[in-house]
Structures are given as C-alpha cells and as structure tokens.
Structure 1
Amino acid sequence: MKNKIFLPLLLVTTGGSYAQQAPVQAYPRIAVYAGILHPVVTFSKTGTDANFGDHYVVGMPVGINIWKNKTIGFSAEFVPTVRAENRTSKMANFTFHPGLLVALGKGFTFAGRAAFETSGRYGLTPVLNKTIIKGKTSSMFAAVPLPVRFGNDKPTSLTLGFQFGIAF
C-alpha cells in the first residue's frame, strides 16, 4: 500500500520541475539569415529621392550572426542591390556590412554596422530589428535600417529603409 501512494507522490512532486526547465543555450551561437530590403526614401542636400516612383530599388541581404553570449554578438551582412527603371534593371551596388549586435530584450536587437559599397560610398548603418514570429528552427523578423553614406564626390545621405526576412 505504501508503494502505491509513494510512486504517484514522487511523480507529482518531481515531474513538474523537469517540465519547467528551459533548455540551456550554448555560446557562441551562430545564426544565418536572408531577407528583402526596400529603401523607402533617401535625403541629401540635393533633394529627396523616393523609391517606388520612377524607379524601384531592392536589396537582398544575407548574413551570419555569431552571438558571443545572450546580449552581444558580431554580424557580417552582404547586400546586392538591384535597380529597375526605364524598363531595364541592373545590379546597382554591393554592400559589405560588418557590425556589432546588442540584444535589447523582448525580441528587439540593435545592429551597429559599418558599410562599404562598390559604388565607392561608405558609412554607418544603425538597424533596429524585431523578431515577429519565433519558431523552433527559424524566425521571421522585420527591421528598420537607417544608412548614412559619405564619399565618392556625393553629398552625405540618410536613407530610411524597411527589411524583412527569415533567420535560421
């Protein structure tokens, strides 16, 4: 009789603690991602250039994130850009984007990136990223990049963009 009571009691008192334990994340942790980038509007002293009007520009960023721990990481992003206008399209630029990642909590991440473009321009790209759907093996994200560019005999520019994608 004692064994019939003891076994269920043991399962009830110890079973709950095993079910509530979260898996331990090992670091460094590597994630890769791909997305679509839409520069929405660019500002400079020569004027305002809006996308989706007489031309369309789209970037296809791919990258790798290496998280040192749960709050700090390194990222390398590669962005080919295609420009379509006057019924033609061409690869207009390629950007190499190395940078630091800072997890802000609640699915938000800040990426502070340097930028080096084949167009001869360079600069910084701060990005605010938000995980919107988190699955077991992948997640969907949305991001707002704010590229600031200098060089190549052009005025300094600031662009507001929108990016979304999937990370693995």
Structure 2
Amino acid sequence: MSARSKAELPLTASIIVAPAVSGSHILRIVGYSRTKGLGNSKFISSETFAVGGHRWCLQYYPDSYHLGDSDWICILLHSYHTGVEEVKVNFQISLLDQDGNPVPSYSIKSPLCSFSSTNGTMGYEVIKRSDLEKSDFLKHDAFSVRCDVTVAKEIFTKALPISGLSR
C-alpha cells in the first residue's frame, strides 16, 4: 500500500471513560473517654452523608469490631445501599492530626470493594487505644477521623473526534 493510499483510509477513534465521584466525611469524637466501655462489637454511627448518589455513614467502634479484642479503635464505612447492583468503591480511613491533616501511619486505603445490600459494611482497625491515649492526636478528650470515598460509576465508550486523541 502506498503512502497516498494510507492517508486516504478513513480514521475513526473512540474513548473508554471510567468516571468516578469522590467525597469525604469527617467524624469528630468528643468525650472519647466516655465512649470506652461501650462493648466489643458495639458502635456509634455518624450522621448520614452522600457520595456518588449513595448514602453512607461511619461506624465508630471504641472497643473494637472483632469479638474478644477490645484493644483497637475501629472505623467502618456503612452503605445504605438497597439496590440490586453492587456499588464499586475505594475508600480511605485516616486519623487526623490536630491541624486536620491525615496521619500517614494511621491512614488505611482499601482496594476496590463491592458494596451491596448483603455486604454493606467494611472498615479497619485504625489505632490501638493505648497508642491514641498517649498520642498528640487525642486532645481535650477528642480526636477526628476522615473517610475519603470514591464511587466508581458505569464505564462507557463513546466516539471521539480524531482531533481529541491527544486529550
């Protein structure tokens, strides 16, 4: 095929788009010492917040989520998802310093997770209670955590003008 023939061939393009919507929620625990002793596997819920068209809350477990282990403070992300389809989500739970910045050594990022009506709660052990109590993160009997949520939306394909290939 000559160079001239190649130039005359029709050229089309398409793009695959994997959109996502992100949001964050901060939970401040004031009166931390009074939440201890709530009981293993018992939690206190944050207010409901919305990200990506779905409703969520954080569940604070002051005496751990796991039965028989009360040494950890656990934070779980709960979905109020009632639909049939799964919701694909990445999330990160971070202990915040006194300036409101995530503490890297106490920030846990999830892999891509599937939330559904039958599997609607996931989370992590964030910090040992003894470590929190001797840290600067607990001040005046209060501390904060932040949950960053990214909801994957439906992937789609669409035609793309050749001029848009470099974008």
TM-score, L = length of structure 2: 0.33
Whichever structure has more strand as a proportion of its residues is 1
TM-score, L = length of structure 1: 0.33
RCO comparison, higher one (Cα < 8 Å, 6+): 2
